[in-house]
């Protein structure tokens, strides 16, 4: 029997010797950069002020000369899903930013833009309309607010749009980088994760390794592409194109420490104002990827935006697995050796 079971510390993320999991105070220095390396940079995306203009998507395509494609990655196809204002569909080899549009039919006061239903009263449904019956509404309900949970205290029926500009998370523990056999994926001096297109051999190992489903292969030669956090611009002292284009500062770029402090303040301010559901995603360095270089302020559960609720770096268990394999191999060798010695006697 090996000393490692699936319930042991090695497989639960509690192993202090596992360098593929857990917080890393200096992710750049950990990769061998000299002590005077630049501060780690990243994105704080405050989705509460995103207006869905997609300027970030366009700026990314333009700066990086990404081809037009549809949601399946077919180049030069007219990329319309036909089901939503979200015509990009998802992140992909040719879409390194993706603005998710989530329509929620519920009462909301702040902070997202809202619209009322069309009606005679300048777009507002009059209060005297026949009440809409919803499951769970008591039969004794008489007022508009009681009979229709979608009505606000002002009598409006409203929906809200959640918009979020998604991107590579530039993880502290980046499984895409861990499994790359060619060194095409590497950690930059800014602490970001970049893929070098001239070194990628198209093996695709990194694609299932990413816990967020970010990195993607092009259909023609299989090479992978994703956000570089504009490495070329950073080395010239410029901020990323998407952050420069965002008109509402939903995408904020800067030193990760400063962004984290700003995000904490923003979250506290929203919670003080009673904004339900506000939370930070990817901010916690004790999460499954050791915290993200690109993290978010969300207004609902991560799943609502198509984000995994509890991502874990997919290489977390590799050390324990190799130790199990080694222990098993040593046991087999021991059995064979003892059988051999026994036969000679
Ligand atoms: S989000 Fe995926 S592609 Fe981006 S650094 Fe993390 S593992 Fe790699
Ligand atoms: S940082 Fe650069 S590469 Fe990444 S999404 Fe923004 S514009 Fe695109
Ligand atoms: S993140 Fe900024 S640029 Fe992108 S859609 Fe939202 S508001 Fe527009």
Each residue of 220-258: pLDDT tens digit?
Answer: 889 999 999 999 999 999 999 999 999 999 999 999 999
Q: How far is the CA of 122 from the centre of ligand 1 (A)?
A: 47
- pLDDT for the residue numbered 7: 63
- Alpha-carbon distance of 67 to 62, in angstroms, equals 9
Q: What's the Cα-to-Cα distance from 319 to each of 7, 108, 114, 174, 299, rounded to whole Å?
A: 15, 47, 50, 15, 37
Beta pairing class for 251-255 and 193-195? unpaired
Domain range enclosing 89? 28-106+158-313
Distance from chain centroid for Cα 92: 13
Q: Is 273 a domain residue?
A: yes
Q: Is the CB of 227 under 6 A from ligand 1?
A: no
Residue 135 within a domain: no
Listed range (48-52, 136-140, 243-247) with the worst mean pLDDT: 136-140
State the average pLDDT over residues 256-280. 96
Q: Which residues are bridge partners to 216 per DSSP? A: 225
Residue 109: pLDDT band by 50, 70, 90 thresholds?
low
- Do the domain assignments include residue 191? yes
Residue nearest to atom 7 of ligand 2 (CA): 60
Which ligand has the minimum distance to the alpha carbon of residue 207? 1
195 lines ligand 1 (CB under 6 A): no
Q: Is 1 among the domain residues?
A: no
Q: Which residues are annotated as a binding site for [4Fe-4S] cluster?
A: 50, 53, 56, 60, 168, 171, 176, 180, 200, 203, 206, 210, 227, 230, 242, 246
Q: What is the CATH number of the domain that holds 67?
A: 3.30.70.20
Computed over every residue of the chain, the mean pLDDT equals 83
- At 244 the pLDDT is 98
Residue 158 tokens, joined: 């409203």
Residue 102 counted as domain residue: yes
Whether 12 is in a domain gets the answer no
Q: Band of the pLDDT at 75, cuts 50, 70, 90?
A: low
Q: For residue 1, what pLDDT is reported?
A: 44
Q: How confident is the model at residue 196 (pLDDT cuts 50, 70, 90)?
A: very high
Nearest to 102 by CA among 170, 164, 38, 18: 164
The verdict on pTM exceeding 0.85 is no
Q: 144 C-alpha to center of ligand 1: Å?
A: 47
Count of domains observed in the chain? 1
């Amino acid at each position: 029997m090996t000393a490692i079971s699936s319930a042991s510390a090695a497989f639960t993320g509690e192993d202090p010797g596992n360098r593929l999991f857990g917080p890393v105070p200096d992710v750049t220095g950990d990769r061998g950069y000299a002590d005077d390396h630049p501060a780690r940079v990243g994105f704080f995306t405050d989705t509460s002020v995103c207006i869905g203009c997609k300027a970030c998507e366009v700026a990314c395509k333009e700066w990086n000369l990404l081809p037009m494609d549809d949601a399946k990655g077919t180049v030069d196809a007219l990329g319309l899903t036909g089901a939503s204002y979200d015509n990009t569909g998802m992140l992909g080899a040719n879409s390194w930013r993706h603005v998710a549009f989530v329509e929620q039919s519920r009462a909301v006061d702040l902070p997202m833009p809202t619209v009322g239903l069309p009606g005679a009263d300048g777009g507002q449904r009059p209060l005297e309309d026949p009440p809409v019956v919803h499951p769970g509404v008591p039969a004794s309900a008489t007022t508009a607010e009681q009979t229709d949970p979608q009505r606000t205290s002002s009598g409006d029926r409203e929906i809200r749009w959640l918009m979020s500009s998604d991107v590579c998370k530039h993880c502290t523990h980046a499984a895409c980088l861990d499994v790359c056999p060619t060194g095409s994926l590497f950690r930059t001096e800014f602490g970001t994760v970049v893929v070098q297109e001239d070194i990628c051999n198209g093996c695709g190992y990194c694609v299932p390794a990413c816990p967020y489903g970010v990195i993607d292969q092009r259909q023609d030669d299989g090479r992978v592409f994703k956000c570089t956090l504009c490495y070329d611009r950073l080395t010239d002292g410029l901020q990323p194109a998407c952050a420069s284009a965002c008109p509402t500062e939903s995408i904020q770029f800067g030193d990760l420490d400063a962004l984290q402090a700003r995000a904490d303040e923003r979250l506290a301010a929203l919670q003080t104002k009673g904004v339900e559901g506000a939370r930070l995603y990817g901010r916690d360095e004790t999460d499954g990827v050791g915290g993200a270089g690109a993290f978010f302020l969300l207004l609902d559960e991560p799943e609502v935006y198509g984000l995994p609720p509890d991502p874990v770096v997919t290489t977390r268990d590799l050390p324990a697995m190799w130790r199990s394999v080694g222990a098993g191999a040593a046991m087999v060798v021991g059995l064979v050796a003892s059988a051999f010695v026994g036969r000679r006697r």
